[in-house]
Amino acid sequence: MTATERSSSAVSTEAEDSPKYTARTAETPSSSPMSLRRMVEGRSDRCHLHRRIFRHQRSSSFEWAKISMVQWAMRLPSRYTSVHPDGKPLKPGASPRLNCDSETESTAAVEPESMFSFAFYDVAWPPSELESLREKYSSVCRMFSYEELKLATSNYSPDMLIGKGGTSQVFKAQLDGGTFAAIKILKPSVDAIHEFVTEVETVTSLQHENIVALRGFSFENYNLVLAYDYMPRGSLDKALHGKNDGTEFLVWERRIKIAIDIARALEFLHLGGVTQSVIHGDVKSSNILLSEDFGARLCDFGLAKRVSASTPHLTCTDITGTFGYMAPEYFSHGEVNEKIDVYAFGVVLLEIVSGRRPITPGSAKGQESLVGWAKPLLSSGGIKHLVDPFLGNDYDCDEMERMTLAASLCTRTSWHSRPEMSLVLKLLQGDDETMGWARSASFDGSDEEAIAAGPDLNMQSHLSLALLGVDADDTLSRCSSTERTSADGYWSRSSSFD
**Final residue in a domain of this structure, among 188, 203, 229:** 229
184 is in an annotated binding site: yes
Per cent of the chain over pLDDT 90 is 42
> Which has the minimum average pLDDT: 20-24, 246-250, 313-317, 338-342?
20-24
pLDDT tens column, 3-45: 444 333 333 333 333 333 333 433 433 334 444 444 444 333 3
User: Are residues 172 and 283 located together in one domain of the fold?
Assistant: no
> Which has the minimum average pLDDT: 45-49, 165-169, 447-451?
45-49
CB 274 within 8 A of CB 205: yes
Q: Can you give the CATH number for the domain in which 87 is found?
A: 3.30.200.20
How far is Cα 3 from Cα 297, in angstroms, rounded to an integer? 19
How far is Cα 345 from Cα 289, in angstroms, rounded to an integer? 14
User: Are residues 119 and 214 located together in one domain of the fold?
Assistant: yes
User: Are residues 32 and 130 located together in one domain of the fold?
Assistant: yes
Round to the nearest angstrom and report the end-to-end CA distance of the chain. Answer: 26
Q: Is residue 490, in this structure, part of any structural domain at all?
A: no
- Let me know the angle formed at the C-alpha of 82 by 77 and 84, rounded to the nearest 5 degrees: 100
pLDDT tens column, 161-184: 988 777 788 899 999 888 999 999
User: Are residues 427 and 358 located together in one domain of the fold?
Assistant: yes
Positions marked active-site: 282
Largest CA distance in the chain: 67
**Final residue in a domain of this structure, among 185, 202, 229:** 229
Identify the band that residue 447 occupies on the pLDDT scale cut at 50, 70 and 90: low
Within a 10 A sphere around the Cβ of 487, how many other Cβ atoms?
21
Q: Can you give the CATH number for the domain in which 357 is found?
A: 1.10.510.10
User: Are residues 317 and 179 located together in one domain of the fold?
Assistant: no
- Let me know the angle formed at the C-alpha of 203 by 317 and 226, rounded to the nearest 5 degrees: 95
CB 471 within 8 A of CB 445: no
Residue of 29 and 324 predicted with greater confidence: 324
DSSP 93: T
Of 34, 175, 169, 178, the C-alpha closest to 114 is 169
How far is Cα 213 from Cα 436, in angstroms, rounded to an integer? 36
Segment holding 174, helix H or strand E: strand 168-174
Residue 389 predicted with pLDDT over 90: yes
User: Are residues 107 and 141 located together in one domain of the fold?
Assistant: yes
User: Are residues 300 and 437 located together in one domain of the fold?
Assistant: yes
pLDDT given at position 460: 52
Of 396, 44, 144, the C-alpha closest to 254 is 396
pLDDT tens column, 236-263: 999 999 875 444 679 999 999 999 999 9
Residue 490 predicted with pLDDT over 70: no
- Let me know the angle formed at the C-alpha of 46 by 198 and 58, rounded to the nearest 5 degrees: 105
Pairing status of strand 296-298 against strand 277-279: unpaired
CB 105 within 8 A of CB 20: no
User: Are residues 225 and 248 located together in one domain of the fold?
Assistant: no
Q: Is residue 151, in this structure, part of any structural domain at all?
A: yes
**Helix, strand or coil for residue 181?**
strand
Q: Is residue 43, in this structure, part of any structural domain at all?
A: yes
CB 200 within 8 A of CB 137: yes
Per cent of the chain over pLDDT 70 is 63
Segment holding 151, helix H or strand E: helix 146-152
**Domain that residue 185 falls in:** 15-229
Q: How many domains, the chain? A: 2
Identify the band that residue 436 occupies on the pLDDT scale cut at 50, 70 and 90: very high
Greatest mean pLDDT range, 198-207, 245-254, 342-351:
342-351
User: Are residues 64 and 140 located together in one domain of the fold?
Assistant: yes
Residue of 346 and 221 predicted with greater confidence: 346
Segment holding 186, helix H or strand E: strand 180-186
User: Are residues 420 and 380 located together in one domain of the fold?
Assistant: yes
